[in-house]
Structure 1
């Protein structure tokens, strides 16, 4: 009768809350089912087909063993009913599926090893039921000597059918109707020195919710001696107490708020005699006004402590949260917290009128062609150069013009992906193309020289008197060139367009490896999406990515970074963009080895493209990467002239040369990055002696994309 992962027996529960779990494939169980069915008063409820359909639809799909697990019939004597349900493992998988990922599957399995005792089943009913609903324990022990009275139904989720029934039995039955496989034990009678040992035996956590002060002291005395933590919720102002006797067996009871107390002296206190203890325990200065005023009226205009159903329900939620933390080994010290919903509602704020910090305003973008036309030659050439693209719009250069030319050096390295300043070298190559086109258009074309490497890389463009009408004709497209991060329409490129793009890269010393096959474009999107996932889940890379975006609440220079408008993210998409900004969210996804959806936007955008292009160059030195950047810009400008849109899609390890580089980028993901890099090079057919300067998606999109701003200086 036992199934892997969950122990089951013929009878689950004890006493008047026990159910029978029967497998019709077992001869003895089948005979018992026939005997129960002979009683015509017994109803049958069979929704197994619907349960099986729902189980088959969960993600990830269950294995065959779960789908073919033998179902069970559950006999509920107090309801005179037989209910057909999935087998124990399938039942648990489906019932708790919606917990994920508030509670992961691994965490849920760990919590099945927790045994919890609940003492006092008025407030405790809500606590025990919430623990069962969330699957926070593998076994629950309940104790209460009292029976349900009509006056209890303002807070105990029972019914008139439960009047006169023991409170622990009522709670156990409700849990059995929720989950017949969950082990629930009823400890008979009330708690005293004679029963406390049996109640505590085998418990990992105690939830104390009883009215008797002597029982409160007794259970804490013995729990402290055994090293069992105690949790209590008092249903006034959301007060939750945690006493970690498992960590400190010398800790005073009730945090020392009641001083030295003796259980025997508290036995038999009247309600009026409990008032000073209760008020002291709740902290007279902080107890809610309505509870404090009610305490004055106890025994006069009201008979006992007032409690609301909503406060009790809140207690169930807060106790469950505490049990979840304890059961999973998360930090939870001894102490007290107040979760006062009424006080929180006093602070209700209207988002329509709440004052937000205004974002730092960005200057209006230039009319690029008009600005270029209005400048003297030297300034016009520098202006055009600064229009060049750079990774993350980082603009890694310092531009120093003089009467004879322009010198471009690198600013301090800022990006992790800028390994040995290779990405910066590519940006300088793009700038060199712009400078040369602008200088040619102004008839001051000269010579470009590259010196140094790494951080010392520099370009010198010496003005001359050269002129080339054909090259000067690229000026308009060069000034209009922009990154377009919108989706494309997926229409194929013509042979003439492909030839023109290849020729543009080739004329500048690069190689354009162009992928146009639809299946290969989709495959490329998958590789780049996997890179994006790693980018999000690696803390340093994630921080760098977040820093590249000019967020509305940022006080950064508005002429740097990528504004949300340039990312193609509308108002409805800003919320999800904000989610990907959060380090706590990314840390959880990394812990779960999840987050495949983080790459979905990239995969979708690449899939909408007409082509994906890898701009390659022979060699891997700084000068080679400058040449690759020039070729990339030449292709980009040519595409702009053809009415095509371009957007870089940069793998995080594009400029990594070995596993050492990859380890520096994303520790622990070297093998994954190496595989992805190999797949990408194979997809594009990159030769061994070549390096890749840039990966671009090429597509058609109507209208004009927004343009990133540029720094006024440097």
Structure 2
């Protein structure tokens, strides 16, 4: 039986060869002792062919004949034998002894094929330079390429990592190097190419403690190549380089991105082109979590300029992969680009700073890209709501005027001002209020709400219900009682409600909720998970009431809350990966800048989503349709599930409001119940966050026969629907209207804006 337990594990970390010039008696004795102690050493003696090349190089116009070559060779050797000539170089890590021309002739011949891309004079300049390379994945390719061109005399290598199996997709070495320090691997490779180059290794990587030595000990660096992963070191080394006037070159191994900062020519240049000036980079070394690091990383790399595959891969980090991917082809290209740039900086042939892209896919690609239908979207538009349509619809309504009062303009504005604070899906505010003859009419202004998510006007109808509820409450403040008819003109579907008002009889309608109308808000912050008092839960249940057919169920069980979190997360993934759902989210729903928030006064302020910096970055990265195509091909996109999962799991309770059947009027009546519960929850200092996306997509699945849903999405939604029915059994025979989470949480970051009154109210 084979046993390996007693074998010696190789721990040799040497990277310096030994030189023997055996025309020197002392060196001859040392070499003989070495060969005696290690008779198994492999000897490589190709000096004869090296001499052939050397002599040919001295006679470029005419190649010497064999007999002439032999004579020239003997003349060149002089008094030395072939064995004594040159230098014997012993590589202890591979136990090889190699016979070479000595340094001057070796350098001349090894760089002979560079001439005149690099002149002999330029070669000699390069040979006096000191280059630093930090990070030895891309850095290995840079270092070895520069060594092959002999672009330096000394190279300082810094990396603290050991070689792992997964590194072998881009680091050129063999499996026998697994477990070795990367600096040792690269140093050995350089020494095997050119044993006369000086290599200085920093096995601990570049640190604050050794940075002075790395930059200046034995001579100041002429250029530094940054390929390290540590954000703090990336920033600190640039500050150091700037203070010393040393140019910095970096490759990103994506789209052939090369970054150059000429601190030698621009001593006042901001580091990283000023991309992180808005951040406190003095704190970067104290950052521990990805959440803290992402703002710096995002600013450094520039999300908009990443390749689509890297963007999609970023979304999968921590989901289906553990870290960012890198390919050998990109790393090799990066090595070539950095080596070229460093050489031209040193030789005073290039003087600029900037970020550059040598995108192979753009430069070398199909002239006519293959057509695909993986991301087909419609630019959903609606017919404008015209004055003619409004007047025609109003004329078709029969209103009993016997009990109604004629509202004054002041009363109209007060009532509609309260209505406009109602919630709507994505804060799209789908309403148009029209006052005519002292009455109010609610129209569906579809240009605001038309989207893939508003299947069969479900979300709009719920919003109309919430607005009507606000109107009823505010009417009570005017000692009025509101009466209304839903869809009162059958031939005018966009007329949602006709509202009339009469003097209040008896108790004012829900006066305790009136002050909450303008204060109500969505709070997506994570909760504490604290239990809600039973009395408060009863208050919320009572708020639904019995009129209209709405009912409510509230679950507090943590296992059920966790189950709901997974269901909602799964639905979010389906929604984001659906091209139209993805398109509408980015183009219709979210406002990404403060300027957009204040100019439109609708949609969701990105800050209201209460995202971590990592998740916000993920959303920015996922904006590209090409990213969604890739994620669908890969079966990826699990990161989208994170957007809601943690928040839901932190909830104290989850509520569900249902109606008996699937009807447009029931969604409006259900919306009224939603608003009462929402206002009452805020009155009890509870955070309220809608999580109804499953109900809306299930409606598309059930009532729309899965319209526009791919087979995989239909399958996933059917499974998720069954799971939700397991938590809320009433969904089997009732229509889900609205689902929400309740929690005790910190104050929301922002409040959604509303369009001004004159945009949504028309008095005719």
- Tell me the TM-score normalised to structure 2 length: 0.48
Contact 1:389 1:430 in 2 (8 A): yes
Give 1:367's aligned residue: none
1:567 counterpart = 2:609: yes
Aligned equivalent of 1:347? 354
1:392 is matched with: 426
Distance 1:156 1:621, change over 3 A: same
Partner of residue 491, structure 1: 530
Question: Aligned with 1:656: secondary structure?
Answer: helix
Deviations along 1:459-487, one digit per CA (max 9) or x if unpaired, are 11112222532523321123321111212
Q: Which residue of 2 aligns with 1:67?
A: none
In 1, Cα distance between the equivalents of 2:150 and 2:655? 64
**CA apart distance, 1:581:** 3.5
**Secondary structure of 1:614's match?**
strand
How far has the Cα of 1:388 moved from its partner? 0.8
In 2, Cα distance between the equivalents of 1:592 and 1:322?
Answer: 18
Q: Which secondary structure does the structure 1 equivalent of 2:498 belong to? A: strand
Report the Cα distance in structure 1 between the residues aligned to 2:509 and 2:671, rounded to whole angstroms: 21
Aligned residues: 434
8 Å Cα contact 2:442-2:497 kept in structure 1: yes
Partner residue of 2:573 out of 497, 510, 533: 533
Cα–Cα, structure 1 residues 438 and 663, in superposed 2: closer, same or farther, change >3 Å?
A: same
Query: Residue in 2 aligned with 1:677?
Result: 721
What is the CA-CA distance between 1:448 and the residue it aligns to? 1.4
Deviation at 1:657, TM superposition (A): 4.5
Paired with 2:601 and 2:676, the residues of 1 have a C-alpha distance of 25
8 Å CA contact 1:614–1:696 kept in 2: the answer is yes
The 3 A distance-change label for structure 1 pair 629 and 119 is: closer
Give 1:391 shift: 0.6
Q: Is the 1:659–1:670 contact (alpha carbons within 8 Å) kept by the matching residues of 2?
A: no
Task: Find the residue that maps to 1:473 and give its secondary structure.
Answer: helix
Alignment partner, residue 740 of structure 2: 696
| Alignment of structure 1 residues 68-217 onto 2, 5 Å | 79=92, 122=148, 134-135=168-169, 158-160=189-191
Could you tell me whether the CA contact under 8 Å between 1:526 and 1:603 is conserved in 2? yes
Q: Is the 8 A contact 2:698 2:717 kept in 1?
A: no
Please give the alpha-carbon distance, in whole angstroms, between the structure 1 residues aligned to 2:146 and 2:647: 58
CA distance in 1, matches of 2:568, 2:439: 40
Aligned mate of 1:378, from 407, 412, 422:
412
1:511 aligns with 2:551: yes
| Alignment check: 8 A CA contact 1:514 1:684 kept | no
Verify the 8 A CA contact 1:508 1:627 in the aligned structure 2: no
- The 10-residue stretch of structure 1 (697-706 or 502-511) with the greater mean CA deviation from structure 2: 697-706
Q: Deviations for 1:87-132, whole angstroms, at most 9, x for unmatched residues?
A: xxxxxxxxxxx999x9xxxxxxxxxxxxxxx99994699xxx9x99
Matched, 1:608 2:574: no
Contact 2:540–2:677 (CA under 8 A) maintained in structure 1: yes
Q: Is the 8 A contact 2:601 2:753 kept in 1?
A: yes
Distance 1:423 1:666, change over 3 A: farther
Corresponding residue of 1:549 = 590
Deviation at 1:710, TM superposition (A): 1.0
1:447 counterpart = 2:467: no
- The DSSP-based 3-state class of the residue aligned with 2:470 is helix
**C-alpha spacing 1:558/1:667, structure 2 compared with 1 (3 Å):** farther
Does residue 581 in structure 1 map to residue 623 in structure 2?
A: yes
Residue 434 of structure 1: aligned partner: 470
Alpha-carbon distance in structure 1 between the residues aligned to 2:706 and 2:736: 16
Q: What is the deviation of 1:594? A: 2.5
1:382–1:401: 8 Å Cα contact kept in structure 2?
Answer: no
Equivalent residue runs for 1:189-268 within 5 Å: none
Deviation at 1:45, TM superposition (A): 4.1
Corresponding residue number in structure 2 for 1:459: 497
In the alignment, structure 1 residue 420 sits paired with structure 2 residue 456: yes
Q: Distance in 2 between matches of 1:79 and 1:591?
A: 49
Which SS does the other structure have where 1:377 is aligned? Answer: helix
Q: How big is the shift at 1:565?
A: 3.2
> In the superposition, relative to structure 1, how do residues 423 and 667 fare at CA in structure 2: closer, same or farther (>3 Å)?
farther
Contact kept, 8 Å, 1:388 with 1:431, in 2: the verdict is yes
Residue by residue over 1:295-316, the C-alpha shift from the partner in whole angstroms, topping out at 9 and shown as x without a partner, is xxxxxxxxxxxxxxxxxxxxxx
Aligned-residue CA RMSD in angstroms? 5.2
Mapped pair 1:645 → 2:687: yes
Q: What per-residue deviation string (whole Å, max 9, x for no partner) do you get for residues 128-176 of structure 1? A: x9x9955279999xxxxxxxxxxxxxx99745566689xxxxxxxxxxx
The answer for the alignment partner of 1:92 in structure 2 is none
Alignment partners' CA distance in 2, 1:614 and 1:405: 34
Whether the 8 Å CA contact 1:589–1:595 is kept in 2: the answer is: yes
Instruction: Find the aligned partners of 1:680 and 1:453 in 2 and give their Cα distance.
Output: 37
Displacement of 1:493: 1.5
Counterpart contact for 1:477–1:641, Cα < 8 Å: yes
Q: Which residue of 1 aligns with 2:678?
A: 636
Tell me which residue corresponds to 1:44. Answer: 10
Q: Unpaired segments of 5 or more residues in structure 2?
A: 14-39, 43-90, 96-134, 139-143, 152-162, 175-185, 197-249, 254-324, 357-407
CA gap 1:158/1:560 in 2 versus in 1, 3 angstroms: same
Shift of 1:684: 1.6
Cα distance, 1:654–1:501 mapped onto 2, change above 3 Å: farther
Distance between the aligned counterparts of 1:587 and 1:339, measured in 2? 36
Structure 1 segments unaligned to the other structure (5+ residues): 1-24, 48-74, 83-97, 103-117, 141-154, 166-236, 241-319, 350-373
Partner-residue secondary structure (3-state), 1:480 = coil
Whole-angstrom distance in 2 between the partners of 1:76 and 1:544: 70
Distance 1:543 1:157, change over 3 A: farther
How far apart are residue 44 of structure 1 and its match?
A: 3.3
Query: Structure 1 residues 662 and 594, CA, compared in 2 at 3 Å: closer, same or farther?
Result: same
| Paired residues of 1:404 and 1:463 also in contact (CA < 8 A) | no
Q: Does structure 2 retain, via aligned residues, the 8 Å contact 1:508–1:630?
A: no
Contact 1:407 / 1:461 at 8 angstroms: preserved in 2? yes
Q: Is residue 405 of structure 1 aligned with residue 429 of structure 2?
A: no
1:528, distance to aligned residue in structure 2 (A) = 0.8
